[in-house]
Amino acid sequence: MIKAPENTWHHKRLRAEKRFRFYGASALSLAVLILVLLVGSLVWRGLNGFMQSQIQLPITFDQTALGAGEGADIHSLTPSHYMCLVKISLHQMFPEVADPTQLHDLYALVSTGGGISLKKTLQRNPAMLGQSKAVWVPVSSDADLYIKGVVTEKTPEIERSLSNQQIAWLKQLQEKKLVRRVFDRTFFERGDSRTPEEAGFLGAMMGSLLTLLICLAVVFPLGVMTAVYLEEFARPGKWVDIIEVNINNLAAVPSIVFGLLGLAVYINVLGMPRSSALVGGMTLAMMILPVIIITTRVSLKSIPRSIRDAALALGATPLQVVWHHTLPLSMPGIMTGTILGMARAIGETAPLLLIGMVAFVVDLPTGVTSSATVMPVQIYLWASSPEAGFSEKTAAGILVLLVLLLAMNALAIALRKRFEVRW
Amino acid sequence: MAKISAKNINVYYGPKQALFDVDIDIPENDVTALIGPSGCGKSTFLRCLNRMNDTVAGCKVLGIIMVDGMDINASDQDVVQLRSWIGMVFQKPNPFPKSIYENVAYGPRIHQLVKTKSEMDDLVEHSLKKAGLFEEVKDRLNDPGTSLSGGQQQRLCIARTIAVNPEIILMDEPCSALDPIATARIEELIVELKDNFTIVIVTHSMQQAARVSSKTCFFHMGKVIEVGPTSKIFTNPQHQQTQDYITGRYG
């Protein structure tokens, strides 16, 4: 065995190494801890947002109560007509309530969206008219928060939007086992709403999808062509250097500046429809363009010179060299860069605020020119809403966004692994 | 008459001059070796012959290179056609990261030398046979070319060059990355190929030049010091520098 030299200098450098490893491990654990806390709190709060409380009410689809005469078309009735049925049923359950203010509080327990589910039930089965049936009706956001345990009786009455009386009613319903919690499908079926329990994320998801499609369609050909020209065809020189410096600078420009540019060029000069996925996608495309150009150039650079030489020496034209060899070989890198660029675009908020995508949009977007919002902007809108019910919607929205981002990054890694070429 | 005749070749890389007034005649269907110490300009000269220096930024070639009596640097000379006529094998084996078959088929395909799949199959087989590789790879033509050993890869590159049916093959130190056995195999191949092709080979190894070539040019510091039949250069050099180099005093 070789003995370690007995001098302090040797021990010192061994200790320095140990110290360094310790610092590194501590930094890593701290980072992991922060990440776990972040994701944990989001999951904890977000999962509630995917759930919706309902109460069971015996509903009589009474024609007169519905306000529909003999032979009237049930399709012409609005959901608010059906709310009458809900109110009647609630009143029958708690016949002791007579005071109009109290009655109002009682009715406030169910969601105004309850009429919609009743309407659907009747439309699916028109024979129900005149019959009675126990129907699950969604509760209002405030009642929902109590059932989920976010708001409890211990909270002082003044600080919560449910009165003691309302809590007492809910408790009675719970004792009768007339309360359940189900997966909130409307979250993935509808657009935004002013009331938390009716607000859905689908509008924002579709808006994001359309925006990203536009962004990809604009930025991919533009970015790849630019990079190929700069890397393979342009004669290196002063002009290429100037362009390169400018592209690198563009990549560092704050995203909100691109929003201003989009507002000025697309909306004011070209007159494109504001708040639309078209303008949003093209604005994000400007923002992502430098990223795509840079990553494409890097992956083109990584193709060995010998491959170009081999093809050129066989008599391939420069275009054939690009088309047959360098571009296919650098595709994994280009795709990875593009997906990471898209992942940046999907989470971008600031430039979209400026082009009007921050509008309150209830309807699902029907095309790239209709008003839309995107996921991060929807999250921002919900986060700044005063109703307590929106905070769990915010967390749920963030979870959806994070899952999509993770999926995109996983796809980027999978593509790189799948198409990686070894020399 | 010489196949290739280079007159007064001066090459500049930016401000640096790499070749000075090089005059060489290269005979047809024979092997000509270019020898000399590192950085003496022999590879630069070789790359002038199929205008690969065009792809190097800042490189300027002056002088006249006549191949079969035609000026290859003429402004109306089609570089793409020229390179299908003058093939090149590089220092490091550089097969495309595609199948063995595709490596050989690529050149004929871009020049549309064959029309049908079966003609292509024949051409690939013929080229691989000429490069002495067919027997080793005939059962795995769809394996990637990069999966072969170094020597096999270099023979694949030779097959790829032959497939385009050039008249001249330029070889830039084709054995420098190979072991002695693979080197011997390539040298045999070069001797076999010289009946059909004019071969110009740059080599670091004087033994290799002596074994395969019948004419040798000795380069030093961008100048041609001595040109002559290989036997004469190696046994009775006229210049002191040539003498010093081949006896191993420098280089």
> Closest partner residue to A313 among B81, B87, B110, by Cβ?
B87
Amino acid code (one letter) for B20: F
Both A174 and A229 in one domain: the answer is no
Q: Following DSSP, what letter does each residue of A295-323 receive, concatenated?
A: HHHHHHHTS-HHHHHHHHHTT--HHHIII
Q: How confident is the model at residue B170 (pLDDT cuts 50, 70, 90)?
A: very high
Question: Above 70 in pLDDT, residue A73?
Answer: no
Structural domain contains residue A217: yes
Taken in order B45, B49, B55, B61, is the CA torsion positive or negative?
A: positive
Structural domains in chain B, CATH included, are 4-246 (3.40.50.300)
Q: Does residue A10 lie within any of the structural domains?
A: no
Residue A405, Cβ density class (10 Å: 0-12 exposed, 13-18 middle, ≥19 buried): middle
Residues A267 and A228 in one domain: yes
Q: Which of residues 62-101 of B touch A (CB under 8 A)?
A: 80-84, 87-88, 90, 92, 94-97
Nearest beta carbon to residue A310 from set B80, B94, B146? B94
Which residues form the domain of A278? 202-419
For chain A, give the mean pLDDT: 88
Identify all chain A residues contacting B161, using CB atoms and an 8 Å cutoff: 313-314
Question: How confident is the model over A268-279, as a mean pLDDT?
Answer: 92
- B110 and A308 within 8 Å at the Cβ level: the answer is no
Task: Indicate whether A150 and A230 sit together in one domain.
Answer: no
Q: Which two structure tokens, joined as six digits, stand for A390?
A: 């929106």
Q: Looking at chain B from residue 113 to 132, which residues have their Cβ under 8 Å from any Cβ of chain A?
A: none
CB contact under 8 A, A311 and B90: no
Choice between A269 and A129, residue whose per-residue pLDDT is larger: A269
Which pLDDT value is given to residue B1? 65
Please compute the mean of the pLDDT values over residues A378-399 and round it to a whole number: 90
Query: Domain end: A153, A183, A213, which one?
Result: A183
Quick one: average pLDDT of A289-298? 94
Sequence letter at residue B89 = V
User: Which of A236, A313, A317 lies closest to B52 in CB terms?
Assistant: A313
pLDDT at A422: 61
Residue A144, C-beta contacts closer than 8 angstroms, at least 6 positions apart: A52, A53, A138, A197, A389
User: Per-residue pLDDT tens for A9-37?
Assistant: 888 899 999 999 999 999 999 999 999 99
Instruction: Identify whether A3 is part of a domain.
Output: no
Q: Could you tell me the CATH number of the domain that includes residue A230?
A: 1.10.3720.10
Q: Which of A235, A308, A314, A422 to mutate to test the interface with B (most CBs of B within 10 A)?
A: A314
Disruptive mutation site among B51, B52, B96, B164 for chain A (greatest number of A CBs within 10 Å): B96
Q: Which of A307, A421, A422 sits opposite B94 (nearest CB)?
A: A307
Q: In this structure, are A214 and A178 located in the same domain?
A: no
**Residue A134: enclosing H or E segment and its boundaries?**
strand A132-138
| pLDDT reading at A226 higher than 90 | yes
Nearest-by-Cβ selection for B57 from A235, A316, A329: A235
Work out the pLDDT band at B172, boundaries 50, 70, 90.
very high
Helix (H, G, I), strand (E, B) or coil at A142: helix
Tens-digit pLDDT profile for residues B199-237: 999 998 888 999 999 999 999 999 999 999 999 998 888
pLDDT at A69: 60
CB contact under 8 A, B160 and A314: yes
- B50: which chain A residues are within 8 Å (Cβ-Cβ)? 313
Examine the domain organization and report whether A210 and A339 are in the same domain: yes
CA distances from A348 to A258, A278, A341, B180 (A): 11, 15, 11, 60
Residue A352 lies in a domain: yes
- What per-residue string of b and e applies to B39-78 under the rule 16 or more CB within 10 Å gives b? ebbbbbbbbbbbbbbebeeebebebebbbeeeebbeeeee
CB contact under 8 A, B96 and A311: yes
Q: Is B92–A306 a contact, with Cβ atoms under 8 angstroms apart?
A: yes
Which segments within A61-131 are labelled E, that is strand? none
CA distances for A193 relative to A249, A359, A388, A401, B190, angstroms: 40, 12, 14, 19, 80
What single letter denotes the amino acid at residue A45?
R
pLDDT of residue A72: 60
Beta bridge partners of A60: A132
Instruction: Label each residue of chain B as H, E or C.
Output: CCCEEEEEEEEEECCEEEEEEEEEEECCCCEEEEECCCCCCHHHHHHHHCCHHHHCCCEEEEEEEEECCEECCCCCCCHHHHHHHEEEECCCCCCCCCEHHHHHHHHHHHCCCCCCHHHHHHHHHHHHHHCCCHHHHCCCCCCEHHHCCHHHHHHHHHHHHHHCCCCEEEEECCCCCCCHHHHHHHHHHHHHHCCCCEEEEECCCHHHHHHHCCEEEEEECCEEEEEEEHHHHHHCCCCHHHHHHHCCCCC
B206 inside 8 A of chain A by CB: no
Q: What is the pLDDT of residue B128?
A: 94
Q: Which residues pair with A163 in a beta bridge?
A: none
Q: Once rounded to an integer, what is the mean pLDDT over residues B115-123? A: 93
Residue A209 placed within a domain: yes
Longest Cα–Cα distance of chain B, Å, equals 57
In this prediction, residue B38 carries a pLDDT of 86
Structure-block tokens of residue A223: 């970015």
The reply to whether A133 and A238 lie within a common domain is no
Give the number of domains in chain A. 2
CB atoms within 10 A of CB A253: 13
CB contact under 8 A, A314 and B110: yes
pLDDT at position A99: 86
Q: What are phi and psi of A361, to 5 degrees?
A: -115, 115
| Percent of chain A scoring above 70 in pLDDT | 96
Q: What is the pLDDT of residue A4?
A: 66
Query: Which residues are A56's β-sheet partners?
Result: A136
For residue A328, the chain B residue with the least C-alpha distance is B97
Together in a domain, A300 and A392: yes
pLDDT tens digits for range A146-174: 888 888 888 888 878 888 888 888 888 88
Q: Are residues A149 and A230 in the same domain?
A: no
pLDDT at position A421: 66
Question: Among residues of chain B, what percentage have pLDDT more than 90?
Answer: 72
B244 to chain A nearest CA, in Å? 34
Whether B215 and B228 have beta carbons less than 8 Å apart is answered as yes
**Cβ–Cβ under 8 Å, residues B193 and B30:** no
Domain ends where: A183, A212, A234?
A: A183
How large is the average pLDDT for residues A31-51?
89
For chain B, the straight-line distance linking the first and the last C-alpha, in angstroms and rounded, comes to: 33
Subunit contact A315:B88, Cβ cutoff 8 A: no
Q: Which residues pair with B32 in a beta bridge?
A: B200, B215
- Provide, as residue numbers in chain A, all residues whose Cβ is less than 8 Å from the Cβ of B110: 314-316, 320, 324
Give the DSSP letter of residue A153. Answer: T
Task: Count CB pairs under 8 A between chains A and B.
Answer: 64
| Closest by Cα among B172, B1, B170, B4 to B73 | B4
Residue A110's DSSP bridge partners are A139
Q: Is residue A17 part of a domain?
A: no
Residues A108, A229 share a domain: no
Q: Which amino acid is at A173?
A: L
Q: To probe the interface with A, which of B48, B79, B94, B112 has the most A CB atoms within 10 Å? A: B94
Report d(CA A346, CA A277) in Å as an integer: 12
Neighbours of A319 (CB within 10 A): 11
Q: 3-state DSSP call for residue A234?
A: coil
- Average pLDDT of span B51-71: 89
Q: Mean pLDDT over all residues of chain B? A: 91
% of chain A beyond a pLDDT of 90: 44
Residue A229 and residue A174 in one domain: no
ipTM rounded to 2 decimals? 0.91
Residue A149: inside a domain: yes
Is A298 in contact with A333 (CB distance < 8 Å)?
yes
Once rounded to an integer, what is the mean pLDDT over residues A207-219?
A: 95
Reported in sequence order, the residue ranges of A46-100 that DSSP labels E, i.e. its strands, are 51-60
10 Å Cβ neighbour count for A92?
11
User: Same structural domain for residues A268 and A305?
Assistant: yes
Asked if A93 and A170 touch (Cβ cutoff 8 Å), the reply is no
Which positions ≥6 away from A379 have C-beta within 8 Å? A394, A397, A398, A401
pLDDT band at A360 (very low <50, low <70, confident <90, very high): confident
**Which of B82, B90, B161 is opposite residue A306, by nearest beta carbon?**
B90
Token pair, residue A29, equals: 């654990």
Pick among B47, B48, B83 to test the A interface (most A CBs inside 10 A): B83
* Residue from B48, B56, B44 nearest B83 by CA: B48
Of all residues in chain A, the one with the smallest CA distance to B159 is A314
pLDDT value at A75 more than 80: no
Q: How close A250 gets to chain B, by Cα (Å)?
A: 27
Whole-number pLDDT of residue A292: 95
In a domain, A189, yes or no: no
Based on the fold, state whether residues A217 and A311 are members of the same structural domain. yes
